[in-house]
Structure 1
Amino acid sequence: MSIKRKTLIQLEKNYLFAVIRGKSSQDAFEISKAAYNGGIKNIEVTFTTPGAVKTIEKLVEEFGNTDMVIGAGTVMDDITARIAILAGAKFIVSPNFSPSISEICNRYTIPYLPGCGSVTEIANAMATGVEIAKVFPGGILGAGFIKDVHGPIPHIDLMPSGGVSLENMDTWIANGAWAVGIGSALTKDINSDDYTSVTINAQKFSDRLNEILSKN
């Protein structure tokens, strides 16, 4: 089994993605750790975070032998993708589709999850080997977008990022979401250097997921 396939299996099993946007490298590390402690195991460190590479390296050092899967988000070009991969990122996410990022990810057998907002973008991404497309912006496209795309293209897996809440996560899942990305909902209650609220919010999403799955 390829490295890419093993990673995709683990990402799907973990299901919830924490989209980490920190004020600093250390802030992002603490948010990531708190989210993991709350049960979210897919950690996407965005490159809007100052020192994102350091965050990835530190997470790999501390959690590399656990079921945490560490990746990089907001990757806008192939150079940044390669830097993230060499730092230890196991998957790459971008807000748009980039053929050059897809190529570098294929070279390193790393999953690439590009943001796509239309069937044309999804088809173009698939032509380069993309297996999972990020539905972005999810809050605008809505859960019905997944069901509509799966009509003509049932073999592409789709993951919303943005617009996922405790209240609508069941709707995304019912419409066929491969996984879901959660961002500001995790960090909205942070108070100074206390990251307890991140763990609490992550646990709420984890508990909600288990509740939804138990009914299916």
Structure 2
Amino acid sequence: MTDNSMFDEILGGIPLMAILRGMGVERSLAVATTAWDLGIEAVEVPVQTPTDVEALRVVAEAAAARGFRVGAGTVVTPEHVRQAKDAGAAFTVSPGFDVEVVRASHDAGLPALPGVATATEVQRALREGLTWMKAFPASLLGAGWFGAMHGPFPQATFVATGRMDAAAAPTFLKAGVRVVAVGSALEDPAQLPALAQLLA
């Protein structure tokens, strides 16, 4: 049995998370710093290439100096879990639900945020002891999906990921999403300030 209730602390008070996908080391650090300065404390760095892993290490080090924690994203193998741990990640995020990856992350001391898109996956995640889940791809699932899941699974807490931006975030938050994670939209430098306005 695993457990990811630590996300109550890591993400519980923050309705937004920035995903720094494929930005390289310097830009990842710059965007993370901007996010932190604007009050968006939660940051995820996907680990798909060696450069990504180095970006995670640099961003995690900078986050620790501020008392923040950074997650490793697109974690799809136990090897990714090891790389995340070595780079200083505080948690892992996956696009899908893989019990082996979840358990490897748990054993490494990193709470896992698995991806789900169906009632079956939500039920399996809950049976594994996971109450926090990443709904992906949220834009295709639609805001109504979250209300539908809340009925049979009131104990599930969702992070909406997948083509999210500052315009969509309020709709999903009103639908019961705890955190909206924004990735590709951050290519637009206006997105972080617009997202920060939602924190006001």
The question of whether the paired residues in 1 share the 8 Å contact of 2:5 and 2:132 is answered with no
**Matching of residues 22-171 of structure 1 within 5 Å:** 22-48=22-48, 50-171=50-171
The residue type paired with residue 143 of structure 1 is: A
How far has the Cα of 1:135 moved from its partner? 0.7
The question of whether the paired residues in 2 share the 8 Å contact of 1:25 and 1:49 is answered with no
RMSD: 2.0
How far has the Cα of 1:29 moved from its partner? 2.5
The question of whether the paired residues in 2 share the 8 Å contact of 1:23 and 1:49 is answered with no
Instruction: Specify the alignment match of 1:201 in structure 2.
Output: 191
How far has the Cα of 1:23 moved from its partner? 4.1
The question of whether the paired residues in 1 share the 8 Å contact of 2:133 and 2:159 is answered with yes
How far has the Cα of 1:78 moved from its partner? 1.3
Q: Give the 3-state SS of the residue equivalent to 1:65 in structure 2.
A: helix
Whose Rg is larger?
A: 1
Q: Percent sequence identity over matched residues?
A: 29
Q: Give the 3-state SS of the residue equivalent to 2:65 in structure 1.
A: coil
Query: Could you report, residue by residue, the CA deviation over 1:169-197 in whole angstroms, capped at 9, with x for unpaired residues?
Result: 22211111111100122223xxxxxxxx3
Whole-angstrom CA distance in 1 between matches of 2:38 and 2:48: 23
The question of whether the paired residues in 2 share the 8 Å contact of 1:44 and 1:70 is answered with yes
Whole-angstrom CA distance in 1 between matches of 2:134 and 2:7: 16
Query: Could you report, residue by residue, the CA deviation over 1:70-113 in whole angstroms, capped at 9, with x for unpaired residues?
Result: 01001111111122022211110011111111111222332211
Whole-angstrom CA distance in 2 between matches of 1:114 and 1:139: 17
Q: Give the 3-state SS of the residue equivalent to 2:133 in structure 1.
A: strand
Whole-angstrom CA distance in 1 between matches of 2:145 and 2:59: 34
The residue type paired with residue 71 of structure 2 is: G
TM-score, scaled relative to structure 2: 0.89
Aligned length: 198
How far has the Cα of 1:58 moved from its partner? 1.4
Instruction: Specify the alignment match of 1:174 in structure 2.
Output: 174
The residue type paired with residue 75 of structure 2 is: V
The residue type paired with residue 118 of structure 1 is: T
Whole-angstrom CA distance in 2 between matches of 1:69 and 1:58: 12
Q: Give the 3-state SS of the residue equivalent to 2:113 in structure 1.
A: strand
Query: Could you report, residue by residue, the CA deviation over 1:45-90 in whole angstroms, capped at 9, with x for unpaired residues?
Result: 0123542221222123222032432010011111111220222111
How far has the Cα of 1:30 moved from its partner? 2.5
The question of whether the paired residues in 1 share the 8 Å contact of 2:7 and 2:132 is answered with no
Q: Give the 3-state SS of the residue equivalent to 1:51 in structure 2.
A: helix
The residue type paired with residue 17 of structure 2 is: F
Whole-angstrom CA distance in 2 between matches of 1:126 and 1:4: 10
Q: Give the 3-state SS of the residue equivalent to 1:64 in structure 2.
A: helix
The question of whether the paired residues in 2 share the 8 Å contact of 1:56 and 1:88 is answered with yes
Whole-angstrom CA distance in 1 between matches of 2:5 and 2:113: 14
1:7–1:148 CA distance, 2 compared to 1 (3 A):
closer
TM-score, scaled relative to structure 1: 0.83
1:109–1:28 CA distance, 2 compared to 1 (3 A):
same
Unaligned runs of 5+ in 2: none
